[in-house]
């Protein structure tokens, strides 16, 4: 296949969505497909809407691709352009995080209409969770596939014996991985830990530049609570350092307002790190509450405090949860499985077939029970 792949900025960005896009491009090229990565500039939402009227952008995209694959993040720049493209055989949107979906204040009627208009300008969608696909279906009805992200490792990174032994070590080690931002609820984590009795430490890992005022609030709250000796704000770390933190941590807490999938939860589970994850979004599709992790409501530090104190005081329970996390991660589709399904879906579209003829029961087959 000859494929164009549209993304904002560089494909090498560190978010989970860009990692998925990067993995998909690598897979397609390894299978012999030609993939042209088309980088477009990202500005503010309104500026992107005007940039989408550019004739030069239309000319860049109006090429005889078998598939024009678009990261749905780019929808404000593409919602008008797509209707003027006649050269690509099919336009497919890869949906990581639907802007009209999360329950946020900026989910205004105008934005919802623009995103709906964009989705109706493509021929098919690929979603990274069933939750995201259901949100897409509230806006449009078209051929679709759910293809989960894979994890960080191809197999369990630690053994059940390793994580059982780690569960009985002190202090309890808490890990947060993600952009320090309101959506990730970093302050909620700090407020929860402030009330936890007993011995614990926490490492906060992730980008600090996106929301500097919020980061300042997090750091001042840590200082005000006198937690400087227990909570370390690392900022971004190397892959080796993140691996070291995963190897030694007991629980991962990222109580986001919404996670369409939550790749970091799965990656932690591969190390037997028990995820305390957002109940809003796709995490419930691969985390069994009380068996391989916990699902908590966003903005509820008391709920997080209770869960942390339970596992801190009952290390046998923590060990059981850690082993459950390992087992759940091992049943999850790996990158090769998921991306092979994506390619079959794209091949069907490129051949002018209804994708269901080649990729049957897409959502059911992609779901981990």
**Range from 41-55, 98-112, 160-174 that averages highest in pLDDT:** 160-174
Q: Indicate the SS3 state at residue 136.
A: helix
- Domain ranges for the chain: 2-150+334-366, 160-331
Exposed (0-12), middle (13-18) or buried (19+): which is 86, by Cβ within 10 Å?
exposed
Beta carbons within 8 Å of 134's beta carbon, 6+ residues apart: none
Beta carbons within 8 Å of 149's beta carbon, 6+ residues apart: 16, 19, 20, 23, 128, 261, 263, 266, 335, 338
- 301-313 and 315-331 are packed helices; what angle lies between their axes, rounded to 10 degrees? 110
Q: Is the pLDDT of residue 368 over 70?
A: no
Lowest mean pLDDT of 207-211, 309-313, 363-367, name the range.
363-367
Report DSSP state, residue 142: -
What pLDDT does 359 receive?
A: 56
CATH C-level class of 160-331: alpha beta
pTM (predicted TM-score): 0.89
Between 44 and 58, where is the model more confident?
Answer: 58
What pLDDT does 47 receive?
A: 86
Q: How confident is the model at residue 44 (pLDDT cuts 50, 70, 90)?
A: confident
Contact 342, 30 (CB under 8 A): no
2-150+334-366 fold: Rossmann fold (3.40.50)
Mean pLDDT over 218-235 rounds to 97
What pLDDT does 101 receive?
A: 52
Contact 151, 334 (CB under 8 A): yes
CA distances to 2, 140, 172 from 52, in Å = 23, 21, 50
* pLDDT tens digits for range 123-158: 999 999 999 999 999 999 999 999 999 998 877 899
Radius of gyration of the chain (CA): 21
Q: Indicate the SS3 state at residue 177.
A: strand
Token pair of 179 as six digits: 């952009």
Q: Which candidate, 65, 117, 126, 72, places its Cα nearest to that of 90?
A: 65
Q: How confident is the model at residue 100 (pLDDT cuts 50, 70, 90)?
A: low
What pLDDT does 106 receive?
A: 47
Q: Do domains 2-150+334-366 and 160-331 have the same CATH topology?
A: yes
Lowest mean pLDDT of 200-204, 259-263, 298-302, 357-361, name the range.
357-361
Between 42 and 364, where is the model more confident?
Answer: 42
Mean pLDDT of the chain: 92
Report DSSP state, residue 273: P
Q: How confident is the model at residue 364 (pLDDT cuts 50, 70, 90)?
A: very low
């Amino acid at each position: 296949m000859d494929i164009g792949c549209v993304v904002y900025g560089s494909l090498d960005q560190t978010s989970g969505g860009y990692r998925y896009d990067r993995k998909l491009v690598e897979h397609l090229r390894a299978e012999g497909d030609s993939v042209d990565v088309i980088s477009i500039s990202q500005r503010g939402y309104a500026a992107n809407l005007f940039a989408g009227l550019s004739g030069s952008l239309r000319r860049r995209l109006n090429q005889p691709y078998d598939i024009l694959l678009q990261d749905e993040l780019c929808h404000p720049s593409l919602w008008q352009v797509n209707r003027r493209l006649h050269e690509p055989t099919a336009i497919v949107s890869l949906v990581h995080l639907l802007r009209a979906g999360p329950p946020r204040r900026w989910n205004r009627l105008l934005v919802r209409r623009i995103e709906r208009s964009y989705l109706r300008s493509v021929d098919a969608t690929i979603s990274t969770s069933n939750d995201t696909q259901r949100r897409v279906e509230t806006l449009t009805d078209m051929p679709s596939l759910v293809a989960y992200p894979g994890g960080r490792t191809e197999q369990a990174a630690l053994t059940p014996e390793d994580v059982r032994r780690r569960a009985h070590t002190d202090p309890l080690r808490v890990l947060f991985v993600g952009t320090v931002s309101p959506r990730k609820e970093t302050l909620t984590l700090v407020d929860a830990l402030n009330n936890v009795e007993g011995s614990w430490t926490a490492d906060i890992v992730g980008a600090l530049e996106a929301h500097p005022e919020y980061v300042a609030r997090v750091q001042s709250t840590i200082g005000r609570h006198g937690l400087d000796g227990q909570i370390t704000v690392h900022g971004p770390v190397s892959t080796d350092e993140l691996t070291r933190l995963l190897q030694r941590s007991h629980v991962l807490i990222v109580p986001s307002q919404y996670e369409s999938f939550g790749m970091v939860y799965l990656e932690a589970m591969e190390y037997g790190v028990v995820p305390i994850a957002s109940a809003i979004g796709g995490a419930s599709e691969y985390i069994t509450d009380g068996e391989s992790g916990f699902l908590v409501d966003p903005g509820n530090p008391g709920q997080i405090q209770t869960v942390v104190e339970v596992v801190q005081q009952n290390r046998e329970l923590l060990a059981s949860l850690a082993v459950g996390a390992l087992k759940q991660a091992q049943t999850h589709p790996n990158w090769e499985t998921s991306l092979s399904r994506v390619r079959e879906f794209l091949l069907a579209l490129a051949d002018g077939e209804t994708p269901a003829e080649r990729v049957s029961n897409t959502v059911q087959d992609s779901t981990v029970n």
